[in-house]
Amino acid sequence: MSVTFKEHRERVESGISTKKQAKRSDLSYMTDLPPEERVMDPTKMTGLALLQAAMAGKIPPASIAETVPMKPAAVEEGYIRIVARADERHLNPLGGVHGGFAATVLDSVTGCAVHSTLGAGTGYGTVDLQVKMLRPVPKEIDLIAEGRLVYASKNVAFAEGTLKTAEGKLLASATATCFIIRPTEQPQQ
């Protein structure tokens, strides 16, 4: 179950600080920062700052990270590396890892690579995702996914991603096109 940023802020402000008290997606119990430093407004953060805060456990992860276990391992402008793990929830009827697992992970890293370059209040959405499955995705082992920004203009960005084993075997690759959602200025009243 995911929590909204408002719920997360309320929990932090109310002093929830033990793992038993917190929901799985509330990572406030994992940091030594005082509660006032853990409360952040994602609408006022750059994409890079937001991703770095999520990686540091200062804000809850995106709810998709519960469905498809993903954890950021490195993030910088135009680049992200995450660790992902397929489990019994991600199997197709034949017992193999469903292709949607790799597609979801690759959509996440390509989107995050784009997001890491955006200013505060600016969003994005995937327009096109092309995934090439190259090998079967193993279950119950940590996999490394990387996303890199290829090009960005005012309204569109392109990124590429890979999904590999820890030993470096390429399992799947992807390219993504994202549209950029710029904040609109509100008229003065």
Assign 43 a pLDDT band (cuts: 50, 70, 90): confident
> Is 56 part of any domain?
no
> Is 53 part of any domain?
no
The predicted pLDDT at position 3 comes to 44
Q: Is the pLDDT of residue 41 over 50?
A: yes
The predicted model gives 40-55 an average pLDDT of 89
> Is 30 part of any domain?
no
Angle between helices 47-55 and 99-115 (to 10 degrees): 130
The predicted pLDDT at position 184 comes to 81
The predicted pLDDT at position 60 comes to 87
> Is 150 part of any domain?
yes
Nearest to 71 by CA among 109, 41, 110, 30: 109
The predicted pLDDT at position 27 comes to 40
Mean pLDDT for the chain overall? 84
> Is 172 part of any domain?
yes
Nearest to 11 by CA among 84, 25, 180: 25
Distance from C-alpha of 46 to C-alpha of 66, rounded to nearest angstrom:
24
Quote the tokens at residue 175: 């390219």
Quote the tokens at residue 126: 């995937």
Which of helix, strand or coil describes residue 31? coil
Q: Is the pLDDT of residue 42 over 90?
A: no
Distance from C-alpha of 140 to C-alpha of 137, rounded to nearest angstrom:
10
> Is 127 part of any domain?
yes
Quote the tokens at residue 93: 């009827």
Q: Is the distance from CB of 80 to CB of 105 less than 8 angstroms?
A: no
DSSP assignment of 32-53: -S-HHHH---GGGS-HHHHHHH
What letters, b where the CB count within 10 A reaches 16 and e where it falls short, cover 1-29?
Answer: ebbeeeebbebbeeebeeeeebeebbbbb
> Is 173 part of any domain?
yes
Q: Domains in the chain: how many in total?
A: 1
> Is 34 part of any domain?
no
What is the residue whose two structure tokens read 């200062």?
58
Q: Which long-range contacts (CB under 8 A, 24 or more apart) does 53-56 make?
A: 56/31
pLDDT in tens, 134-176: 999 999 999 999 999 999 999 999 999 999 999 999 999 999 9
The CATH number of the domain holding residue 148 is 3.10.129.10
pLDDT in tens, 15-37: 443 333 334 334 444 455 455 55
Domain membership of residue 155 as a residue range: 63-181
pLDDT in tens, 67-113: 999 999 999 999 999 999 999 999 999 999 999 999 999 999 999 99
pTM of the predicted model as reported, rounded to 2 decimal places: 0.77
The predicted pLDDT at position 128 comes to 98
Q: What is the length of the chain?
A: 189
